[in-house]
Amino acid sequence: MNSVGNYLKQQRLLKKMSLKEAASSTGLTDTKIQRIESDNVLEASPKAIKALCDLYRIPLLPIYIQLGWLSADDLDIKTHLFKDAYQLTEAEKAFIQSQIDFLLKHRSDSK
């Protein structure tokens, strides 16, 4: 991945979004997004980066790692619990989540 700012800008452009459209959809200002895209780290709060990742539908954790906000060790439990989960389709992930929801609902019903 090149710089975080450049990557986020590329993602916005792939979605054919203007700065104003991205700002309107995230609650951030277009100036703030432009500064993030220019790698002004002071503008890149975790909340702002999450809003952009959610909007562009891109993974958040690799960006947090690149920015130094998380390390691979911070994610170790996720790696062990969900080995190779990245290979699942969205439909398969939705099915697994529905099974988890079902189990949790019945657990709370029995208490």
Which distant-in-sequence residues (6+ apart) come within 8 Å of 36 by Cβ? 4, 5, 8, 43, 44, 48, 49, 52
Residue 88, pLDDT score: 82
Helix or strand or coil: residue 12?
Answer: helix
pLDDT digit string (tens) for 86-102?
788 889 989 998 999 99
Residue range 19-65, pLDDT digits in tens? 999 999 999 999 999 999 999 867 689 999 999 999 999 999 899 98
- Could you tell me the pTM of the whole model? 0.66
